[in-house]
């Protein structure tokens, strides 16, 4: 029996026997399971490659392989993307956010396997990025295509993409509550009863999948031994400020390297430049190789010397200030290594680099406080390492609640809840003030294409501007006389506004209202004396499709009190947008958004 016939029969049976809400629950379980499988495949492939290379070639042959691995990995990833995937594989979470905001939750089929093929080659060969973003993107693409197969509407597609994100994070960290909060914070999902249960089901099915395949293996195994005391509160405030400064450094460096590599047109040149620079960094600083969770776990366990034993300067690790200096160097260079990985064409995420930098930053702050002799008290370095991760997550990802609950869940308790809240709040508030958008959504935020928790703004973002542009306006050229305007425009048009455009480049020069023509249009003696430029007036506002966001368009209508505004693109006239059609489209989108 053909597949289409089977699917058609399944859809008919579902429509007769299962309600829409019940079917969404079923799909959320399926999406959670597939996200868990995606995490399994990505993790195992990456660790297999990394163990094969780092465990054998470097251990038994030569340290210089650290220099060669990144460029080999980037080259392999480039060949896979060009000849097997044959489409650009974008960074995981930003590409998913773009699909939600501008593609109505539709992700292409190649995105289901693109990250699975490219990310392990990037990270396994030393790319200094994480697997969380690619795992989320893989799960989101699978959920999007499952939704399309079963003819789900846009609202349900977006919800199931959020379920995939929750499932991916739940499977990776075994932190189901933090995973749900991550989906709500990062993807700006509405927290309602209708959305809560699918997120819970997806997170639950994913973590069960993780336990089935990985057992009790935890990415960040740690149990809190040193409890929080109120006297440590000022130190956690210092940690929050330091986290904000580090977050701003992270964001700025990431953005500058991104722009630098954008200027290099050739992907081959980007690969060579990024690969060589990253190879040099990893050769001299081996802890920058890959995700870096081994370094994090060594710091949490109180073994910084183990993480730093391969330092190229061969410094004495018994000197605590040398240890602090080397750890600070890891914080400084990690984001550079991550940015080089992305710039060279590698595929990965920034979640793991954020945890890496946050843990080391927290450990450094604790060591400085404990050894500078000014405060006369000793604080827990392991706790500061954990809370530092939360501080940087809150600042870089703009996800303070995810940061708080993730660390609380992976440590198996809530003893650090107060310092987590204190540090995350300070870091998030300060970073948000200076950098309104997170690393995930910087580009979308600049273009006004970002979904936020502001429902009005979210609805405006989801609206398609092209669908509200009207083209049934008759254009007038500047040299047309009154007679031509009457016979060629006024008589033939059912509109009371006429755009005046340049004949050569179709540039908008102004507009003529029917009210401007009415006093003279019946006096035929003036037909040859008056030309378009005599009665033309500037438009009250002009909508530029290249620059104006939907919120800007709404503001222009409000400021000008106009009922119709002309639209240009690349300097050329394309049509008009009417306030009535815009508000009708807004109401329709609002209904869809709140279903």
Q: Of the ranges 96-110, 224-238, 446-460, which one carries the lowest mean pLDDT score? A: 446-460
What CATH number is given to the structural domain containing 129?
1.10.3080.10
In a domain, 219, yes or no: no
Among residues 189, 214, 239, which one ends one of the domains? 214
Regarding whether 141 and 39 lie in a shared domain, the answer is yes
418 or 4, higher pLDDT: 418
pLDDT tens by residue, 330-350: 899 999 999 999 888 888 888
Instruction: Please state, rounded to an integer, the average pLDDT across all residues of the chain.
Output: 83
Query: In angstroms, what CA-CA distances link 575 with 208, 276, 466, 549, 569?
Result: 54, 50, 10, 17, 10
What CATH number is given to the structural domain containing 527?
3.10.580.10
Buried/exposed 296-313: b ≥16 CB within 10 Å, e otherwise: bbbbbeeebeebbeebee
pLDDT of residue 464: 67
Question: Are the CB atoms for 300 and 386 separated by under 8 Å?
Answer: yes
d(CA 165, CA 163): 5
In a domain, 224, yes or no: no
pLDDT of residue 191: 64
390 or 469, higher pLDDT: 390
Regarding whether 133 and 195 lie in a shared domain, the answer is yes
pLDDT of residue 453: 47
Among residues 450, 474, 500, which one ends one of the domains? 450
pLDDT tens by residue, 275-312: 899 988 888 888 888 888 888 888 877 777 777 766 66
In a domain, 90, yes or no: yes
DSSP 499: E
pLDDT of residue 319: 80
pLDDT of residue 201: 94
Q: What are phi and psi of 398, to 5 degrees?
A: 55, 45
d(CA 575, CA 594): 31
Record the tokens describing residue 530, joined without a space: 């008056």
Domain count, the chain: 3
**Section 139-163 average pLDDT:** 87
d(CA 196, CA 167): 13
**Section 226-235 average pLDDT:** 85
DSSP 309: T
pLDDT tens by residue, 481-528: 888 888 888 888 888 889 999 888 888 898 888 888 888 888 888 888
pLDDT of residue 458: 54
When pLDDT is cut at 50, 70 and 90, the band that residue 463 belongs to is low
d(CA 420, CA 243): 12
Regarding whether 400 and 536 lie in a shared domain, the answer is no
Regarding whether 278 and 363 lie in a shared domain, the answer is yes
Among residues 214, 245, 267, which one ends one of the domains? 214
pLDDT of residue 457: 54
Return the half-sphere exposure (C-beta side, CA atoms, 13 A cut-off) of residue 118.
Answer: 37
Record the tokens describing residue 37, joined without a space: 């499988």
Q: Of the ranges 107-121, 332-346, 460-474, 544-558, which one carries the lowest mean pLDDT score? A: 460-474
Say if residue 266's pLDDT is above 90. Answer: no
Cα dihedral angle (108, 113, 116, 117), rounded to 10 degrees? -110
Question: Are the CB atoms for 424 and 240 separated by under 8 Å?
Answer: yes
In a domain, 222, yes or no: no
In a domain, 182, yes or no: yes
The residues, ordered by sequence, that sit 6+ positions from 105 with a Cβ below 8 Å of its Cβ are 99, 144, 147, 154, 157, 158, 161
In a domain, 505, yes or no: yes
The residues, ordered by sequence, that sit 6+ positions from 444 with a Cβ below 8 Å of its Cβ are 94, 97, 98, 101, 437, 450
Classify residue 473 as left (phi > 0), alpha (psi -120 to 50) or beta.
beta
Regarding whether 515 and 406 lie in a shared domain, the answer is no
Residue whose structure tokens are 């330092």 = 311
Regarding whether 206 and 89 lie in a shared domain, the answer is yes
pLDDT tens by residue, 541-583: 888 887 877 777 888 888 888 888 899 888 889 889 888 787 7
Regarding whether 427 and 344 lie in a shared domain, the answer is yes
Regarding whether 375 and 396 lie in a shared domain, the answer is yes
In a domain, 220, yes or no: no
pLDDT tens by residue, 380-433: 888 898 899 999 999 998 889 999 999 888 877 678 889 999 999 999 999 999
Regarding whether 463 and 432 lie in a shared domain, the answer is no
Q: Which structural domain, as residue segments, surrounds residue 425?
A: 230-450
pLDDT tens by residue, 76-91: 988 998 888 888 877 6
In a domain, 225, yes or no: no
Classify residue 319 as left (phi > 0), alpha (psi -120 to 50) or beta.
beta
Regarding whether 534 and 395 lie in a shared domain, the answer is no
Regarding whether 136 and 38 lie in a shared domain, the answer is yes
Question: Are the CB atoms for 407 and 382 separated by under 8 Å?
Answer: no
CA 95 to chain centre: 6
| Reported pTM | 0.77
Regarding whether 310 and 433 lie in a shared domain, the answer is yes
d(CA 294, CA 305): 12
């Amino acid at each position: 029996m053909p597949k289409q016939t089977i699917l058609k029969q399944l859809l008919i049976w579902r429509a007769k026997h299962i309600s829409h809400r019940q079917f969404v629950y079923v799909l959320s379980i399926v999406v959670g399971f597939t996200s868990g499988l995606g995490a399994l495949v990505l993790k195992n492939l990456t660790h297999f490659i990394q163990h094969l290379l780092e465990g054998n070639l470097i251990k038994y042959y030569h340290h210089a392989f650290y220099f060669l691995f990144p460029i080999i990995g980037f080259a392999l990833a480039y060949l896979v993307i060009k000849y097997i995937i044959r489409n650009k594989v974008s960074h995981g979470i930003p590409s998913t956010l773009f699909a939600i905001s501008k593609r109505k939750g539709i992700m292409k089929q190649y995105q289901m396997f693109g990250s699975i093929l490219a990310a392990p080659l990037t990270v396994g060969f030393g790319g200094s990025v994480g697997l969380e973003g690619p795992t989320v993107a893989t799960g989101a693409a699978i959920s999007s295509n499952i939704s399309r197969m079963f003819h789900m509407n846009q609202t349900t597609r977006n919800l199931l993409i959020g379920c995939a994100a929750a499932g991916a994070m739940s499977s990776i960290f075994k932190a189901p509550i933090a995973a749900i909060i991550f989906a709500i914070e990062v993807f700006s999902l509405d927290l309602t009863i209708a959305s809560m249960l699918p997120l819970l089901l997806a997170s639950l099915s994913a973590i069960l999948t993780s336990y089935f395949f990985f057992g009790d293996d935890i990415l960040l195994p740690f149990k809190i031994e040193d409890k929080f005391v109120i006297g440590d509160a000022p130190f956690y405030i210092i940690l929050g400020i330091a986290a904000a400064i580090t977050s701003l450094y992270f964001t700025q460096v990431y953005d500058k390297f991104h722009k630098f590599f954008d200027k290099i047109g050739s992907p081959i040149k980007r690969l060579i430049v990024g690969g060589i620079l990253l190879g040099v960094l990893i050769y001299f600083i081996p802890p920058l190789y890959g995700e870096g969770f081994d370094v994090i776990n060594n710091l949490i366990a109180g073994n910084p010397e183990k993480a730093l034993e391969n330092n190229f300067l061969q410094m004495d690790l018994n000197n605590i200030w040398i240890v602090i200096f080397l750890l600070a160097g890891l914080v400084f260079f990690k984001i550079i290594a991550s940015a080089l990985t992305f710039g060279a064409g590698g595929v990965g995420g920034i979640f793991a680099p954020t945890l890496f930098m946050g843990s080391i930053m927290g450990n450094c702050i604790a060591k400085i406080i404990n050894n500078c002799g000014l405060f006369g008290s000793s604080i827990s370095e392991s706790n500061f390492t954990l809370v530092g991760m939360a501080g940087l997550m809150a600042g870089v990802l703009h996800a303070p609640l995810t940061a708080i609950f993730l660390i609380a869940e992976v440590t198996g308790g809530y003893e650090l809840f107060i310092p987590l809240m204190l540090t995350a709040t300070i870091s998030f508030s300060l970073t948000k003030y200076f950098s309104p958008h997170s690393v995930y959504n910087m580009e979308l935020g600049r273009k006004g294409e970002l979904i936020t928790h502001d429902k009005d703004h979210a609805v405006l973002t989801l609206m398609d501007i092209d669908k509200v542009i009207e083209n049934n306006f008759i254009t007038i050229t500047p040299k047309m006389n009154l007679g031509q305007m009457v016979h060629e425009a006024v008589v033939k048009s059912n509109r009371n506004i006429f755009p005046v455009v340049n004949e050569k480049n179709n540039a908008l020069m102004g507009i003529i209202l029917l009210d401007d023509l009415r006093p003279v249009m019946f006096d035929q003696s003036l037909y040859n004396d008056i030309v378009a430029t005599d009665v033309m007036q500037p438009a009250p506002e002009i909508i530029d499709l290249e620059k104006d966001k939907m919120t800007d368009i709404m503001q222009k209508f409000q400021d000008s009190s106009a009922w119709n505004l002309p639209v240009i693109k690349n300097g050329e006239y394309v049509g008009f947008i009417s306030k009535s059609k815009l508000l009708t489209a807004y109401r329709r989108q609002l209904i869809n958004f709140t279903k």
